A and B are shown apart, each in its own frame.
Chain A
Amino acid sequence: MIKNGNIKRFLQNNAVFIAILVLVIITIIVEPKFLLPENLLNIMRQFGPLSFVALGMTLAIIGGFIDLSVPGIISLVAVLTISFIDRIGQVGALIAGVTAGCLMGILTSIIIISCGALSSAESVFLTFGMSAVYSALALLYTGGATQHMSYLDSSTTIFDTIGTGQIGIVPFSFILFVVLMLTLYVFQTKTRMGREICLTGGNKVAARLVGISIEKSVLLVFAISGTMAAVGSIVLFSRVTTASPLLGQGYETDAILAVVVGGTPLSGGKGSVLRTMMGVMLVTLLSNCMNLLGVSTYMQSVFEGAVLIMAIWIDHRRQK
């Protein structure tokens, strides 16, 4: 009996890893093209933008929130950054873009705090509203037109590197991801602020009653989420060299999918960015494998939804 329980627990705790393995094996058997270097490089690149957004989302969910404002932030940051390159140079534009994302996150958090919308249901809808605002601003700013990096007069070498550069065989964006992930991991597990965010996500009432500032935690998680969305946005438009004002659409669901599939529960308090990396890997591989296997995009969405439902189901079983 005990042994049986152990196996069950092992399966539950490592479900993502096992799922990735099974998926890869099936794909290799059916479509050996999977192992071609071009495909593997492609996977690492696809990994890029979503992985950054998912890192920020992980912190938000650990802090007890879900940040649906990321699509708006991604879109607005992209069009702002491209348009800044000609005005203030590429270094200035890069800094301005990331700062803008951070400020948008902070604005969202200030609105959440001043509305007193600290319950998860209320805050979700506020972030949803903020996404609409940021998306609309992106549309207003561009008049709906897609921005092209190739039309710019200034040099865009930094963005070219971020988008398609490689160090050895590893894409630059992947290295950036690993660095940011480790930074956030250390922040979450080793610093006081990181701990306070976990405590806030675990039980806001109890955290407040021991003298932890809930407001500070909220501000931090949304600032981080906004910053990471901005980084994801820059990686994304640098790779495709264009930015439509609707660039960020759909990223919030994919990010939540990656976080939950990775094993960070939506109930808050627990989880880790390392788990999210596994989640992003699964989500990316899933879409890559389905592409290779010739699954239609409509059917792919069905599978993604099914995986999300499975992840939540497994998480609930684990908690019982």
Chain B
Amino acid sequence: MINDATDIILSMENVNKSFPGVKALDNASIEIRRGVVHGIVGENGAGKSTLMKILSGVYEKDSGKIVFDGENIQHTTPILSLKRGLSIMYQEFNLVNTMTVGENIFLGRFREIGGMKAVHKRARELLDSIDCKIDTRRYVSELSSSEKQMVEICKALSFDSKLIIMDEPSSSLTEDELRRLGIIIKELRSRKISVIYISHKLDEIFEFCDYVTIIRDGRVIATKPTSDLSRSDMVAMMIGRTIEDEFPERPHCVKDIILEVQNLNTRKLHDVSFTLKRGEILGLVGLVGAGRTEIVRALFGADKVFGHSVIINGKKVNIKSPIDARNLGMAFVPEDRKSQGLILPFSVKTNISMASLKKLSRRGFLNTYEESKMAERQIEGLSIRTPSASTSVENLSGGNQQKCIIGRWLETEANILILDEPTRGIDVGAKYEIYLLMKQVVENGGSIILISSELPEVLNMSNRVLTITEGRITGEFNPEEVSAKDIMNMAIG
């Protein structure tokens, strides 16, 4: 690759970014050339979104150098990035639903464009330039995802963007719409606009992208012309790492069936049926948004269910709310520790005891002595590192916070433990402790449903793996017999 300086629109050199307990970007270096479509692939949590947020100015880099269009960028904000010619299209769109298409494209710039009439006229020209027929006076709330995307693209064009970053642009598109997006991307390329295309879906990467960068664990693994890579090379690089000592030996305690779920249907799930055995770790694998979390939330009574039957220990049960689920011996460690799992300003003790208040109270009065003993027991048993039981839980590291949540459920003597992304954002050492805990739970006769975006984790800990695609269970594997690649392929769909 010859790097003529004027040919590079964006270069990032040794960019680092850390969050408490995690290195999100580790010496990442990427160069994007003018007028190319550059794919970025990686597993969930590999650092793709951190990278984007640093470019747009949502986060600030810890160190490293970013040069955009010949200008060394030290500090930036989302609006400054836009003005420099760097646009980002987020997955969840950044449009005002209650305003029209034209107003959205020129949001906040009505006066400099020259009034509403001019806004709609210019919007029309932009839409025509990408061969799009949407009426500029329609409200954004009436548009389909694909149309919203077109509006976003026009917004980017209206800023004379030189680089457009698309984050998972295909996640809500039909096949036809995807084809149109492909045509528009080619059109952008012919106008010498670069596109960074972030996606899980390898087919699209091969179809649209000239170059591809593979990221893993915050590190850039490789940047290559797409034509030099095969699909299997790419998957191998995405999963990559050797994983021997990261995991304890897989437990083998599987016995009889404890839980049976039949025909679980919700707005996002279609006829999901599966079983869980005593002493088993069942892994659920799928992309974010495929329905993994929805399955366990519905099972736990946290979301509305259209119809299903659940059998626990051979008895049909009716779970209408998390209260029922808890009383049936289920436990749920939700994916977002801070917003769904913990009450942050409260003490470690309160966070541990909160699922066992019934056990701790007599005639309605709490036994605070027993409560302190309970907290001490879990702090010691799980080696939670905290100055004291009355320390506010927000001062603990991610791993120790997660242990508080797990400890909370161990006290309820739950026998079905649902773990949704239990190791997200926590460091390697704490991860290992959580794996050991999981092993301990199943060795004592409990069962675990494990959801994780980290494939190696699921593959090394589970006794059985289900793949989930678009709200359906699409496969069942024995992780000891099947390669990560096959499972990944199945999950990507």
Contacts and interface: CB of A to CB of B under 8 A. Distances in A.
B361 interface: yes
A193 B408 CA distance: 19
Interface of B: 300, 302, 321-323, 325-327, 332, 334, 339-346, 350, 354-355, 357-358, 360-361, 364-366, 368, 408
Contacts of B322: 208-211
Given A206-B339, A212-B323, 9 more contacts: A191-B366, A192-B361, A203-B343, A207-B343, A209-B302, A209-B341, A211-B325, A212-B357, A269-B345
20 contacts: A191-B366, A192-B358, A192-B364, A193-B364, A195-B354, A195-B357, A196-B357, A198-B350, A199-B343, A199-B346, A202-B346, A203-B342, A206-B341, A206-B342, A206-B343, A208-B322, A209-B334, A211-B327, A212-B357, A213-B323
B365 A269 contact: no
A148 interface: no
A319 B344 CA distance: 12
Contact of B343 (A192, A211, A269, A319): A269
B342 A209 contact: no
Interface string A74-106: 000000000000000000000000000000000
Given A210-B408, A211-B325, A190 B346 contact: no
A212 to B, nearest CB: 7
B341 to A, nearest CB: 6
Nearest to B339: A205
Contacts of A193: 364
Contacts of B300: 209
Contacts of B345: 202, 269-270, 319
A192 B365 CA distance: 6
Q: Which of A207, A208, A211 has the most CB of B within 10 A?
A: A211
Nearest to B357: A192
B346 A211 contact: no
Interface residues of A, number: 22
Contacts of A196: 357
- Please list the 10 inter-chain residue pairs (A to B) with the smallest Cβ-Cβ separation, ordered nearest first: A211-B326, A202-B343, A210-B355, A192-B361, A211-B323, A203-B343, A211-B322, A192-B357, A205-B340, A191-B364
A209 B339 CA distance: 11
A212 B354 CA distance: 9
Nearest to A193: B364
A64 to B, nearest CB: 11
Contacts of B350: 195, 198-199
A199 B302 CA distance: 17
B296 to A, nearest CB: 11
A190 B365 contact: yes
A210 B409 CA distance: 9
Contacts of A208: 302, 322
Given A211-B326, A270-B345, A206 B361 contact: no
Contacts of B365: 190-192
A169 B365 CA distance: 35
Interface in A201-248: 202-203, 205-213
Given A191-B366, A202-B346, A207 B361 contact: no
B340 A206 contact: yes
A109 B354 CA distance: 24
A210 B366 contact: no
B326 A210 contact: yes
Contacts of B361: 191-192
A270 B347 CA distance: 11
Nearest to A215: B321
B212 to A, nearest CB: 38
A284 B170 CA distance: 62
Contacts of A191: 361, 364-366
A202 B322 CA distance: 18
Contacts of B346: 198-199, 202, 269
Contact of B355 (A190, A205, A211, A269): A211
A203 B340 CA distance: 8
A210 B364 contact: no
Interface string A101-132: 00000000000000000000000000000000
Nearest to B409: A210
A195 B340 contact: no
Interface string A176-202: 000000000000001111011011001
Given A190-B366, A269-B345, A209 B340 contact: yes
Contacts of A211: 321-323, 325-327, 355
B36 to A, nearest CB: 43
B455 to A, nearest CB: 26
A213 B323 CA distance: 7
Contacts of A269: 343, 345-346
A30 B393 CA distance: 48
Contacts of B344: 202-203
Nearest to A216: B323
Q: Which of B325, B342, B344, B354 has the most CB of A within 10 A?
A: B354
Nearest to A199: B354
